[in-house]
Structure 1
Amino acid sequence: MMSESPIDWTIWQGEMLATLMFVIKDGQILLIEKKRGLGAGKINGPGGKIEPGETALEAVIRETQEELLVTPHDPVKLGELRFSMSDCPDILCHVYRSEDFSGTPTETDEAVPAWTALDEIPYHRMWEDDRHWLPLVIEGKTFIGNFIFEGERVLWKEILTDLVW
């Protein structure tokens, strides 16, 4: 792993704007197995690209509805993930947490829902960076995660915590 970042993160901007949602309820987290697109076959939270004219909050609700047919209640933004990628545009991802939802998590063309105990999260099937920041989401802490990827491997990382949005 690189010891220093070659990127000045104070001026870095993501080319692709995206979201992730994690519903945590009754000691479990609602994850998905992604069926297509970036990260197909991996486990993650529902989410996706922010459309032009859409806020991050509007996008994370829409994406969760499209991928799982559920509507998260009172989402709270906990983090931002900044990904410098070797094989796709740089991504700025807004990370949200919700404690409740309406609807029934349902498989769609995009995702298979998977309720998972908080102590059984399958990090081995997730992006390499997830193990560094998902525990912060579970704890309800705010954060920024800066990551440099080569393919699917993290070359450098930095996590800043206890931020005020």
Structure 2
Amino acid sequence: MTTTKPPPRLYTVIFPIEGSGSGQRVLLGLKKRGMGKGLWNGFGGKLEPGETLDDCAHRELQEECGLEAKDLCYVGVLFMICSHHDDLTIFVYTARDLVGSVVESDEMAPQWFTTDKLPYDGCHREARLWWPTMLNGSLFVARFVFTQDDCIQHNIEHVDRARLTQLLSQPGP
């Protein structure tokens, strides 16, 4: 009997960025509970029913660190193909025009990092593969294949804005 996987679960993740060049900093959050507990990541979560992807990114940023993004910029999509649980499609955003004060939430402990001193040893293993692409301003589509214990295959493709926008309406690998 063949079992089919359900469609991928949809998520967003947003990375607040300030400065440029060697002074560029990114705000990461240390996850305090749930998936990724104990790891540094951007701010994000699952798309709620009736919510747009942009709405989800705005909501998660505000809930997890108290900031509001005035210039949400869609920069990439991650397709996570997993042997041990449902697949994930994660829409990646950055923001530079931020309003509010950074606050710790019950889910995340935020901290600014310069981009030359990112805590890769405390992140999801694949972060070191795609974060540099995001932080240098490239638009991208990344595919990762996971077993229970490891990322066994990955591909990161630089794309143009038209291709990236197309994926917003057809979110599948």
Q: TM-score, normalised by structure 1?
A: 0.89
Residue 52 of structure 1 aligns with an amino acid whose one-letter code is: P
Distance of aligned partners of 1:122 and 1:14 in 2 relative to their CA distance in 1, 3 Å threshold: farther
* Aligned: 1:63 with 2:60: yes
* Partner secondary structure for residue 88 of structure 1: coil
Residue 149 of structure 1 aligns with an amino acid whose one-letter code is: F
**Rounded Cα–Cα distance in structure 2 between residues aligned with 1:48 and 1:144:** 19
**Rounded Cα–Cα distance in structure 2 between residues aligned with 1:14 and 1:83:** 12
Matched residue count:
154
CA contact (8 A) 1:83 1:90 kept: yes
CA contact (8 A) 1:128 1:152 kept: no
Give structure 2 stretches of 5+ with no counterpart.
166-173
Q: TM-score, normalised by structure 2?
A: 0.85
* Aligned: 1:19 with 2:16: no
Give structure 1 stretches of 5+ with no counterpart.
1-11
Q: 1:101-140 to 2 correspondence within 5 Å? A: 101-140=98-137
Moved runs in structure 1, 4+ residues, more than 3 A?
A: none
Task: Give the RMSD, CA atoms, in angstroms.
Answer: 1.5
Q: 1:40-55 to 2 correspondence within 5 Å? A: 40-55=37-52
**Rounded Cα–Cα distance in structure 2 between residues aligned with 1:102 and 1:55:** 21
- In percent, how many aligned pairs have the same letter? 34
Residue 45 of structure 2 aligns with an amino acid whose one-letter code is: G
* Aligned: 1:99 with 2:92: no
CA contact (8 A) 1:68 1:107 kept: yes
Residue 75 of structure 1 aligns with an amino acid whose one-letter code is: L
**Rounded Cα–Cα distance in structure 1 between residues aligned with 2:141 and 2:156:** 6
Residue 23 of structure 1 aligns with an amino acid whose one-letter code is: P
Q: As a proportion of its length, which structure holds more strand?
A: 1
Q: Cα deviations across residues 17-37 of structure 1 (Å, max 9, x unaligned)?
A: 000101110211000001111
CA contact (8 A) 1:143 1:161 kept: yes
